[in-house]
Amino acid sequence: MTTIQVSLLSLLLGTLFGLLMGMIRVLGPRFLHPFVNAYVTFVRGTPVAVQIYAAFFLLPRIGLNWSLFEISVFALTFNSVGYQIEIIRAALQSIDKGQHEAAAAIGLGKWKAMWLITLPQAAQRMIPPLTNELANLIKASSVLSIIALYELTRAGEAIIASTFRYAEVLILMSILYFLMIQSLTEGSNYLEKNVFNFRTSRIKTRKIKQPAG
């Protein structure tokens, strides 16, 4: 389904670029911080519909004659990166600073310590907000119908236009969106508990009775 494809691909690309810019925000040169902050402010301060329209009309003007699918992925990725930067920054900064000091004490550079120590622990803390971001992307994908991408909302509009069954189609669309988001949420919960669970488990111990005498 186009809705799932666009949303998942946008989340993946958004995570890659968000991770890079989030790490720049935490460890990168200070002169880059205002640019990253300006990007985040712009994305959060403008409606996603405006960003989609901008991508649709401006990309061809600079010679990028992409398909509607590619433009849609670009627009949602552009939007998602602005939110994921802060998700990743918060997760990275939530790790105890003492671990960075310990890494420096054994000779690890700050970037190497980030990849080997901080990032694996932060990954688990990123999953819940990233799941929420994926849900937002799925819902935002409904706006892509304004540029005629044939996704779930556009398909629903076409069915309504031919059958005039507004209530039935809208209810069915709501159920489909709910099922998509709920199934992805359950999948992320599984990943959080079983794949990215780096917490050390407690080892049960028992007391040994002292010999009498």
pLDDT in tens, 77-109: 999 999 999 999 999 888 887 777 787 788 787
List all residues 6 or more positions away from 76 whose beta carbon is below 8 Å from its beta carbon. Answer: 6, 7, 10, 14, 48, 52, 137, 140, 141, 144
Q: Does residue 26 fall inside a structural domain?
A: yes
- Listed in sequence order, the DSSP H helices in the chain are 2-27, 33-45, 48-58, 68-93, 97-105, 110-113, 119-140, 152-163, 166-190
Q: Does residue 145 fall inside a structural domain?
A: yes
Q: Does residue 213 fall inside a structural domain?
A: no
User: How far apart, in whole angstroms, are the C-alpha atoms of residue 204 and residue 201?
Assistant: 9
Q: Does residue 81 fall inside a structural domain?
A: yes
User: How far apart, in whole angstroms, are the C-alpha atoms of residue 156 and residue 38?
Assistant: 37
Q: Does residue 201 fall inside a structural domain?
A: no
Which tokens belong to 6? 């666009």
pLDDT category at 187 given cuts 50, 70, 90 is confident
DSSP state of 95: S
Looking at residue 205, its pLDDT comes to 44
Domain count, the chain: 1
Q: Does residue 39 fall inside a structural domain?
A: yes
Looking at residue 212, its pLDDT comes to 56
Q: Does residue 188 fall inside a structural domain?
A: yes
Domain range for 145 is 2-195
Q: What is the pTM of this model?
A: 0.81
Could you identify the residue written with the tokens 């937002």? 136
Q: 88 vs 4, 17, 120, 155, 183, CA distance in Å? A: 23, 11, 12, 35, 24
pLDDT tens-digit map of 101-122: 787 788 787 788 888 888 888 8
Q: Does residue 43 fall inside a structural domain?
A: yes
CATH of the domain at 58: 1.10.3720.10
